Structure 1
Amino acid sequence: MDAGTGRPAPPLRGGERETLRAFLDFHRATLAMKCEGLSDEQLRTRSMPPSTLSLLGLVRHMAEVERTWFRRVVGRETGLPFVWSDTQDYQEAYDATGATRAEAFAAWEAEVECARRVEREAESLDVTGYQERWGEDVSLRLVMLHLIHEYARHNGHADLLREGIDGVVGA
């Protein structure tokens, strides 16, 4: 654990799976950290018109991403609906109008726990799942790297959103 932020510290000499798991958890904790201490209204603050991007929208979006990649793709759960979209559009989760921290974080935390279970139960990083949108089989390794990439990208957005809300900066 990082003493300053409470986020998990990735190992300096860990194995591949341990390192991927730790970096993913580090980025998950970073998103949560960027939302700490803010009201629902602040969490719904949009970046700039016409964008609907907000911190709460990012949490909702990442719940959809976790759900898709770990449960649908690797876990092969068929017929699993999106949480916030009837049209399977990840962008709809960004619009957090009327959303609350409680509902968004409950959904996100539940999906993170499911993702951790799917990853733990997988025999190896070479386990594959089918990514329907790509029409290809993908490895758990790729899924974990993809999620690290998604979080890193969106945590950059979260940095700017948080600074705009109350001036708080830093990783």
Structure 2
Amino acid sequence: MDETGARAGDERSTLVSVLEAQRDALAMVCAGLSDAEMGARPVPPSALTLGGLVGHMAEVERAWFRRVFAGEDVPLRWSRFPGDDFGFAGTPEDAYDAWYDECALAREIVASAPSLDATGRHPRRGAVSLRWILCHMIEEYARHNGHAEVLRAAIDGRAVTVDR
């Protein structure tokens, strides 16, 4: 969808467009970095890496769209249980591919949902609508994209500004 359509579109189109913009922002921050740079810990004493952050987002995509909304019985990739380190331990070598795959599967799940009112079941929160999940995912990306921008600037001084 073009940007004008997303800004003037219906609720579903708008939410999906904003989520895609957040996904694009994370990809732009990581673009051009080597595995070593993705695994660097440039902001001590934090152990946060861009590879770990991308792995975390893969885990979050998998948990909310596949496990909670679609009810798929798929294991988490890196976490032993929800809330553990939730993917931050992912390695740069596998994190980006996992994230890309989970985003693609999430897009299919969202596209096939009958409405934003369709619900999935979270083990602690109970019923959650697709609308709520999309809003939560936008929040999750927005928070971590800020972290990603700081990490990228500390790695190579490149400031990535995403204006969509």
1:95 aligned onto 2:93? no
* Runs (5+) with no aligned partner, structure 2: none
Please tell me the residue identity of whatever aligns with 1:152: A
Q: 1:119 to 1:92 in 2, by over 3 A?
A: closer
Q: Which secondary structure does the structure 2 equivalent of 1:130 belong to?
A: strand
Shift of 1:50: 4.0
SS of 2:87 mapped into structure 1 = helix
Counterpart check, 1:81 vs 2:75: yes
Shift of residue 87, structure 1, vs aligned partner? 3.1
- Aligned equivalents of 2:60, 2:124: Cα separation in 1: 13
Change (3 A) 1:9 1:58: farther
Q: Does 1:113 align with 2:104?
A: yes
2:92 aligned partner, one-letter code: T
Matched, 1:34 2:68: no
Point out 4+ residue stretches in structure 1 off by more than 4 angstroms.
none
SS in 2 for 1:93: coil
In 1, Cα distance between equivalents of 2:127 and 2:88: 28
Query: TM-score when scaled to structure 2?
Result: 0.90
**Structure 1: gaps (5+ residues):** 2-7
Cα distance in 2 for partners of 1:90, 1:22 equals: 30
Of residues 141-150 and 84-93 in structure 1, the stretch that sits farther from structure 2 once superposed is 84-93
Give the alignment's Cα RMSD to 1 decimal: 1.7
Q: How many pairs are equivalent?
A: 160
Name the CA distance, whole Å, in 2 between partners of 1:85 and 1:116: 23
Shift in alpha-carbon separation, 1:82–1:50, aligned structure 2, 3 A? farther
**Contact 2:119 2:129 (C-alpha < 8 Å) held by counterparts:** yes
8 A contact 1:57–1:95 mirrored in 2: yes
**In the aligned structure 2, how far is the partner of 1:85 from the partner of 1:110?**
17
